[in-house]
């Protein structure tokens, strides 16, 4: 007959209890930190993929308009969105920077525009760096709160 021995279960339960006790003020700081790093990485990846508009008359480029929303509490913790603020005049048409970012990310085959997935690439290549602020902030809070 097989025998199952479970070790470390009490420590695992304690870790889950600690994580569930994290207040949203700590989660908010973690989300802000993650969003700031994500913005940096998206901007750098966009630059390396040539997303910046080469037109010298363009004063504001989409990579200069990256921002994030204020973190909001959800049932499973919280969320914040990376956004591209504002719009600009292209010819006679006002175009939202978010729409320009979307076309750069996914392309527009009918118009002959190739996809340059600068957002997806930045997020996947830098996932450890993006999550580092959350690990530091939440881990520090748990350590300070439960090590006493």
Contact 106/115 with Cβ under 8 angstroms?
yes
Is pTM beyond 0.85? Reply is: no
Per-residue pLDDT of 96-114, as tens digits, reads 999 999 999 999 988 898 9
Per-residue pLDDT of 24-58, as tens digits, reads 999 999 999 999 999 999 999 999 998 877 666 66
Per-residue pLDDT of 2-32, as tens digits, reads 565 656 677 767 767 777 788 899 999 999 9
Alpha carbon 98 to chain centroid, angstroms: 15
Closest to 53 (Cα-Cα) out of 93, 92, 110, 103: 103
pLDDT for the residue 22: 84
């Amino acid at each position: 007959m097989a025998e199952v021995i479970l070790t470390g279960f009490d420590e695992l339960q304690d870790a889950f209890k600690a994580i569930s006790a994290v207040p949203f003020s700590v989660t908010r700081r973690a989300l802000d930190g993650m969003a700031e790093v994500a913005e940096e990485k998206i901007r750098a990846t966009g630059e390396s993929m040539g997303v910046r508009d080469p037109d010298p008359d363009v004063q504001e480029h989409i990579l200069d308009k990256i921002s994030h929303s204020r973190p909001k509490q959800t049932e499973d913790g919280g969320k914040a969105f990376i956004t591209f603020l504002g719009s600009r005049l292209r010819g006679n048409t006002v175009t939202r920077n978010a729409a320009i970012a979307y076309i750069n990310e996914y392309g527009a085959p009918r118009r002959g525009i190739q996809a340059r997935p600068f957002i997806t690439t930045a997020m996947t290549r830098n996932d450890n760096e993006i999550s580092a602020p959350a690990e530091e902030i939440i881990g520090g809070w748990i350590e300070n709160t439960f090590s006493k």
